[in-house]
Chain A
Amino acid sequence: MSQVNPSERRPRWAAFIIAAGLAVLAAVILRDAAGLKQDGGYAGVGPADVPRLIAYGLLVLAVLTAVAGLKGNLPHPPRQAPAPVLWIMGGLVGQLALLHVAGFMISGAILFGMTARGFGQKPLWRNLLVGFALAFVIYGVFDRLLKLNLPGGPLEMLIFRG
């Protein structure tokens, strides 16, 4: 995608999606504000009013974004490789799913390993080992020394005795 591109002036679908997202966010805020008790007190401005103002602001921005989209006025992202994004997302979701089952060290190793794989480092098993070593040190320092409460699993029980 170079700078001089005939598609530059064509409508940009991404801008319409962003505009729609902003409008939905505004609608959610307005719906919530409608359900709030209005007690403005002396100010005449209650808990629902500022969110309303922000929602109106979002609506205006949504319209302007859509107009900018019609004019093709949105930067073109550089070409994206989908695989790395999927690897990293997989690592994050994997950690979220396994955290309370397998404990911090195993889920942390998975996050580290899959992220490194996403950045092109192979093989995966070595990444996982490095990740495990790092997670082990972090658990030792932060959970044991600094008393941060990290979720433990079977391995933490085994190594640090709970």
Chain B
Amino acid sequence: MESFSLLMQGLSTAMDPVILLYALIGVTLGTAVGVLPGIGPALTVALLLPVTYGLDPAGSLIMFAGIYYGGMYGGSTTSILLNTPGESASIVTAIEGNQMARQGRGGPALATAAIGSFVAGLIATLLLAFLAPQVVKLALTLGPREYFALMVLAFVTVSATFGDSALRGLTSLFIGLALACVGIDGLTGAARLTYGVPQLMDGIETTTLAVALFAIGEALAVAALMDPPDGMHRVKGSVKMTREDWRRSWKAWLRGTFIGFPIGSMPAGGADVASFLSYAAERKLTKHPEEFGHGAIEGVAGPEAANNAAAAGTLVPLLTLGLPTTATAAIMLAGFQQFGLQPGPLLFVMNAELVWGLIASLLIANVMLVVLNLPLIGLWIKLLSIPRPWLYGGILLFATLGTIGVNPSPVELGMLILFGVMGYGMRLYGYPVAPVVVGLILGPMAEQQLRRALAIAQGDWWTLVSTPVSATLLGISALFLVVPILMRLRGRGAVLSQVAGDAD
């Protein structure tokens, strides 16, 4: 009941007209980037970080969360109509959704995706509100070694568990960790790897790295590709779902929600994994197995609900523990830090109004999104008619705008280009880019927790496994590292590489 009254207070914050405006801008932008191929929610939040520097913290964070939710809604549109997922969590949606569109059932596919996203977003946000205070209580009992173990788990799941190669995932992660060493050491003030360049003292900017890897690397990779993209399938008929569609969708929505939320809230891979698992579950449970692969509506309803529920789920560890488990969450963490806020148990005490305002705004954003995505769907489809050359020209102009706005030095722009080329190379040879960003942000935090834990134990490394919680977490990390490698060796890696996702 405590959560309930706090949530009500949050709603009164969220109903403030200015905050409502921020939420509306967030969900609109989020839907737009979800629809447009080539830009995902992680990149958009990264682009907006510098722009919001002088704005209201609560409003900006609400806008970022709106972008995250909106991206999950909008991604389904491109998956269904174009067969090119707008962001990685909608890859599975493309399988059945595009088949439905080919049969002229694009309308109901879009509808079940949007309504499923709404149902899942609503339930998952309420779960977030009721779960978060419990996790906060738990979090207060955790010490540095438990935090370190949690971060190790996040490192492993983000880099080695999914995707088609643990080696390449770990390589990406270690590049991120290496970049994280640049700058002034948080505990002793020693300058590491700075070579006297003042811009390097603060470390490598998260936004510079993320924008370079996601925007410039992606633009180069797309431009250099020689295949022409797929044509678009017009929506024929109405978006209305038949009684049969409803009957087959609602269970899938609920199952998707209850698969997505736990996956998102554990450091276990985020929305991509959730949508894939939901698809697998629907294919197993369906009464119409013959339709799968040829446009089964459950195969759209479940995964779309799952990826929205997972997006809400990732906010649980982000807000309560300060632990980002996806690239978007990692950049949102950078957003909190930009305003001098440190997510974690203390945030709920010191900035209660902000946190509950944020959670309540998500409920409102969800309502805005279903309105934006169902009646106004035609508008978003028009967005897809922007010529690609101008779209990417605009993306790159905005990508450099963020860096120029904060720090218009040649050093910073040079790093942007350098990391952009690195991102292009990584894409060519199948290296995931998300672990680099997570490594850069989580690396220094993990180092601090490790050194604190060791300081408390007077340098005894066994302290890391001396409590049941930390030992279990490290044990699970080891399993998540070793089991997938064994699966790949035995030729069962295909499942894992399908779950691979990047942009989110």
Interfacial residues, chain A to chain B (CB-CB below 8 A): 14, 18, 22, 25-26, 28-29, 32-33, 36-37, 39-48, 50-51, 54-55, 57-58, 61, 64-65, 68, 74-75, 77-82, 84-85, 87-89, 91-93, 95-96, 99-100, 104, 108, 111-113, 115-121, 127, 130-131, 134-135, 138, 142, 146-151
Contacts and interface: CB of A to CB of B under 8 A. Distances in A.
Contacts of B192: 32-33, 36, 47-48, 51
Given A89-B417, A146-B54, A148-B54, 5 more contacts: A29-B193, A45-B459, A80-B428, A81-B224, A134-B394
**Centre residue among A50, A78, A80, A108 by max chain B CB count within 10 A:** A50
Contacts of A135: 397
B54 A92 contact: no
A64 B166 CA distance: 11
B459 A88 contact: no
Contacts of A61: 167, 170-171, 174
B204 to A, nearest CB: 13
B392 A116 contact: yes
B167 A68 contact: yes
**Centre residue among B174, B193, B401, B456 by max chain A CB count within 10 A:** B174
Contact of A41 (B171, B420, B455): B455
A96 B414 contact: yes
A121 B389 contact: yes
Interface stretch (B76-84, B123-131, B175-183): B175-183
A25 B178 contact: yes
B454 A113 contact: no
A111 B403 CA distance: 14
Contact of A147 (B54, B408, B421): B54
A32 B67 CA distance: 40
10 contacts: A43-B452, A47-B185, A50-B181, A50-B450, A92-B420, A93-B417, A115-B223, A130-B393, A149-B405, A150-B401
B400 interface: yes
Q: Sorted from nearest, which 9 A-B pairs have the closest CB atoms?
A: A44-B459, A121-B389, A119-B389, A84-B223, A43-B455, A116-B389, A43-B454, A77-B428, A112-B393
A138 B54 contact: no
Given A36-B190, A111-B397, A116-B393, A148 B174 contact: no
A95 B227 CA distance: 29
A146 B392 CA distance: 24
Interface in B201-253: 216, 219-220, 223-227
The SS class assigned to the B binding surface is: helix
B8 interface: no
B455 A131 contact: no
Nearest to A33: B192
A115 B188 contact: no
B400 A111 contact: yes
B429 interface: yes
A81 B226 contact: yes
B389 A127 contact: yes
B408 A99 contact: yes
Contacts of A127: 389-390, 393
A112 B54 contact: no
Contacts of A95: 400, 413
A77 B429 contact: yes
B356 interface: no
A47 to B, nearest CB: 4
A148 B417 CA distance: 22
B75 to A, nearest CB: 22
Interface in B436-459: 447, 450-452, 454-456, 458-459
Contacts of B452: 43
A43 B51 contact: no
Given A43-B451, A51-B192, A57-B174, A91 B404 contact: no
A111 to B, nearest CB: 6
A108 B402 CA distance: 12
A57 to B, nearest CB: 5
Nearest to B172: A61
B475 interface: no
Contacts of A149: 405, 408
